[in-house]
Structure 1
Amino acid sequence: MSTLSTSSLRPLFKAEQVRELDRRTIAGGIEGFALMQRAASSAWHSFRARWPHARSVTVLCGGGNNAGDGHVLAALAIQSGLKVQRITLKPLDALKGDVARAAELATSAGVSCEAWHADCVFSGEVIVDALVGIGLTGKVTGATQQAIKAINAAKCPVLAIDIPSGLAADTGAVLGDAVHANTTVTFIGDKIGLHTGEAPAYTGEIDFRPLGVKAQAFFDIPPCAWRLDEGWLTDAFAPRSRTSHKGDMGHVLVLGGAPGFGGAALLASQAAVRLGAGKVSLATAPEHTIASLMRCPEVMAHGVRGGADLNELPQKADVLVVGPGMGQAAWGQAVLQHALASGSPLVVDADGLNLLASHWPSERRDNWILTPHPGEAARLLECSVADVQADRPAAARELQRRRGGVVVLKGSGSLIAGPGGLVVCPYGNPGMASGGMGDVLSGMLGALVAQRTEIESSAWLGVMVHALAADRAAQAQGERGLLASDLASYARVLINP
């Protein structure tokens, strides 16, 4: 399998980095107002591509550069024959600089303007949100908050310019209220906050327009993260050698399934088999072995009553998946202790993570993948779930700093933090909100580590394949009722491009 690097992925930036890219572009000879016109033109093209038959538009403008883009778009819309309603939250005579020029351009083009008031009635078929851009730092209040609520209540399709108003560009957190957009057209550098946290529920489709700015040409402004791309799959999963045998494809040992909790470990084991591991063993409570044989006879099931029964099983495997259905009682503690003592690469999930938090608070290593959801991450970081969700990128990076290896912070816009930086997965869907999804992910990760040996790229691929498999399954039969066990067959197709 090929070596992967983030160099081929779309870079993501923080708000201040994008502002600096904007400043340098202007300093390099492009007038600020010309750049604003370029942004508005791109937004207008995005509008027309999505609503080609719209004959009217309502544009809501705040007072910053984001509003300037809205004013210019309003001019372009009326010049194209649309009826344009322009509503501004800041009086036109109070605007300054490029924003004032943009507003005057719209006025000269014949666009009328009305001041925002609580009883505004939107007349456009589509609403353009140009209220607040990436400079927002605190919760929206006053007229801006009222306007956001009115946009969401209007039930019209919405195009957000650069970012939905009320969304934090660096974290994806909602700052009080945020616009629910159908499409977000964003400029110069893509923002990490559009891809994680609460953002996927607000951005709609993201249309990135660089405006001719080559962000990666500025070597002293390194991206804060990268966005995974399914185009990786073809290179990552090249055809196998015709002389391959199972010994070449790695041996995964799943450790889990304490008495009475066998399902999770069975899901992880079956996912590891389907993701191409040459051999998969399962160490589980004895009462679960028959179920394993019936469900997937290709998995070598071993009944273990405790850590002592593991014998040499951990030493025989290339990677250990530990945690699914393991529990936090004596059985789980003993099994995890033996896994840690093996020195083998680990994928740690579920109660394995909870036990690390409670019994191994300072354990750190380079050869493991930790896969917490926000609750488990909060326990590992000794903070609240709200703290984790308020700044998911910071939480993922801090957890990786403390614990080493690679950390997968699961959730909407899953984040992978490792030595190579922070990577965001833009795939997945709400159908994944069902039991067992994390267990399947841990099995997939174990299989890829066993075959690739390289921890970080295996994590990137595993998270992406898992999410894409869920998307394929949802496309085939819908999101509701999607089961974790549905993913393995779709994942198998994805890893055989």
Structure 2
Amino acid sequence: SRPRAAAAYAAAGGSTLEFDGELPKADVIVDALFGIGLSRAPDAAATALIAAVNAHAAPVLALDVPSGVDADRGFAYPSAVLAQRTLEFIAPKAGLVTGAALDHAGVLALASLDLPQALYHTPPVAELLRAEDLPRWLQPRRRDSHKGRNGRVLCIGGDHGHGGALLLCAQAALRSGAGLLDAATRLAHVAPMLARLPEAMPRAIEHADELHDAIDSASVIAIGPGLGQESWGKQLFERAIASAKPLLLDADALNLLAIDPRPLPADCILTPHPGEAARLLGSDGARVQADRFAAVRALVERYRCVVVLKGAGTLVAAHGRGVQVIGAGNPGMAVGGMGDVLSGVITALRAQGLDAFDAACAGALLHSVAGDEAAREGGERGLLPSDLMPWLRRRANPVNGAR
């Protein structure tokens, strides 16, 4: 009990001070103000104390969860401790590996308190995936491999002024192992794509009827990067949805789906950022970020397919497959075009034989790991999506030892 613990502390020579608006000098601050049961915003007195902790020069060690952070949802109240390290007890907390909590928890460590496994009756809320998990999906290729065995990807998008989005998607798909790649785009983007990426097979598409051959030969389709929401993009979107081919929807394909929701195949993959997720749910971005786990589950329930909710601590979910948290990635990846690269990576892995959920998990992890490698090489600020390309190739071959 608290009285017994306080008495033991005093008996051991510990002293207490009443907070008067300023904290004394210290080498380290241990944050144990609130635990994992916090369900309301800190009151005025607690807010003042948290502000003093955050303003102090000493590093902060949080116990179990930084005070002011929701351990289940990853939501941080306006007043929340910024810790350099957090020591979790008994079991990891799902809320500390996604969303705003990542800025508050710092480096995580776990103290199991030597509890026996027999006491763990509650199934895990999610699984955390790290770089060392990549070999689970990315095995060495057979010696008699050929391009047809590695899948034919069709990337659709790149309306006028947005050709770069489709180029990034196509390049990422090839660097992630797609055997063949077709790109359906505007005529103005065909020559620039060939100049930058001669391995791709771009074709000028002005009307959806011209997609027939490309769709017929595709193993999987990625639609959305640079697609736009005008007549051209809408035509191609409707044609792709009706194709019965494995699909990945991103960017404006998601916005068009939000405008006109319809049933999707169970193996379809959606890759929304929080704003797109909000439109798909008829909600707003703040509510999505306040409970990312609830949001990704709601998307799965509404659209009955695989969902990749992008952002800090990307979440991957599907009906009956649980939720996976991507334990990689960095703030340098918050730049236009990163989502287009992710679309290409996931689509390529899908084309190489992974099912939709595994392709989404492996692709999101490979993308984030490549981003971390690129950031280590040159720093986070100024990181470009194209900087990931050599690292995609290296980290797509983990069993071969390529780094």
Q: Is the 8 A contact 1:283 1:302 kept in 2?
A: yes
Shift of 1:220: 4.7
Is 1:492 matched with 2:389? no
In the other structure, the counterpart of 1:195 is 97
Is 1:351 matched with 2:252? yes
In the other structure, the counterpart of 1:128 is 30
Matches within 5 A, 1:53-92: none
SS of aligned partner of 2:308: strand
Q: Is the 8 A contact 2:268 2:306 kept in 1?
A: yes
Structure 2 distance, partners of 1:318, 1:208, is 43
Structure 2 distance, partners of 1:206, 1:331, is 48
In the other structure, the counterpart of 1:164 is 66
Shift of 1:362: 2.9
In the other structure, the counterpart of 1:400 is 300
User: Matched residues, percent identical?
Assistant: 46
Is 1:435 matched with 2:307? no
Is 1:267 matched with 2:168? yes
- Root-mean-square deviation (CA), in Å? 1.2
Structure 2 distance, partners of 1:220, 1:296, is 52
User: Structure 1 pair 136/482, CA: closer, same or farther in 2 (3 Å)?
Assistant: same
In the other structure, the counterpart of 2:384 is 483
Structure 1 distance, partners of 2:56, 2:354, is 52
Is 1:326 matched with 2:227? yes
Structure 1 distance, partners of 2:363, 2:253, is 19
In the other structure, the counterpart of 2:18 is 115
SS of aligned partner of 2:278: helix
Q: Gaps spanning 5+ residues in structure 1: where? A: 1-96
Is 1:104 matched with 2:4? no
In the other structure, the counterpart of 1:152 is 54
SS of aligned partner of 2:153: strand
In the other structure, the counterpart of 1:410 is 310
In the other structure, the counterpart of 1:226 is 127
Q: Is the 8 A contact 1:356 1:363 kept in 2?
A: no
Deviations, residues 118-175 of structure 1 (Å, cap 9, x unaligned): 2x33221111101001010010112211111000011321100000000001111112
Is 1:382 matched with 2:285? no
SS of aligned partner of 1:198: helix
Deviations, residues 23-59 of structure 1 (Å, cap 9, x unaligned): xxxxxxxxxxxxxxxxxxxxxxxxxxxxxxxxxxxxx
Structure 1 distance, partners of 2:232, 2:386, is 26
Is 1:461 matched with 2:362? yes
Structure 1 distance, partners of 2:186, 2:384, is 24
User: Structure 1 pair 478/303, CA: closer, same or farther in 2 (3 Å)?
Assistant: same
Structure 2 distance, partners of 1:306, 1:136, is 55
Q: Is the 8 A contact 1:255 1:323 kept in 2?
A: yes
Q: Is the 8 A contact 1:292 1:301 kept in 2?
A: yes
Structure 2 distance, partners of 1:250, 1:218, is 46
Shift of 1:230: 1.8
Rg bigger for which structure?
Answer: 1
Is 1:289 matched with 2:155? no
Shift of 1:390: 1.1
User: Structure 1 pair 214/431, CA: closer, same or farther in 2 (3 Å)?
Assistant: farther
Amino acid at match of 2:58: C
Shift of 1:358: 0.6
Shift of 1:432: 0.7
SS of aligned partner of 1:288: helix
Deviations, residues 54-101 of structure 1 (Å, cap 9, x unaligned): xxxxxxxxxxxxxxxxxxxxxxxxxxxxxxxxxxxxxxxxxxx2x222
Q: TM-score, normalized by length of structure 2?
A: 0.96
In the other structure, the counterpart of 1:368 is 268
Structure 2 distance, partners of 1:231, 1:453, is 18
Q: Is the 8 A contact 1:370 1:407 kept in 2?
A: yes
Structure 2 distance, partners of 1:402, 1:200, is 28
Which structure has more relative contact order (CA 8 Å, sep 6+)? It is 2
Q: Is the 8 A contact 1:172 1:199 kept in 2?
A: yes
Q: TM-score, normalized by length of structure 1?
A: 0.78
Shift of 1:176: 2.7
Shift of 1:219: 7.0
Is 1:185 matched with 2:92? no
Q: Is the 8 A contact 2:333 2:371 kept in 1?
A: yes
SS of aligned partner of 2:160: coil
Is 1:211 matched with 2:146? no
SS of aligned partner of 1:231: helix
Which 10-residue stretch deviates more, 231-240 or 471-480?
231-240
Amino acid at match of 1:124: A
Structure 2 distance, partners of 1:115, 1:489, is 56
User: Structure 1 pair 159/348, CA: closer, same or farther in 2 (3 Å)?
Assistant: same
Structure 2 distance, partners of 1:272, 1:218, is 45
Q: Is the 8 A contact 2:131 2:328 kept in 1?
A: no
User: Structure 1 pair 219/248, CA: closer, same or farther in 2 (3 Å)?
Assistant: farther
Shift of 1:449: 0.3
Shift of 1:379: 0.5
Structure 1 distance, partners of 2:58, 2:353, is 48
SS of aligned partner of 1:202: helix
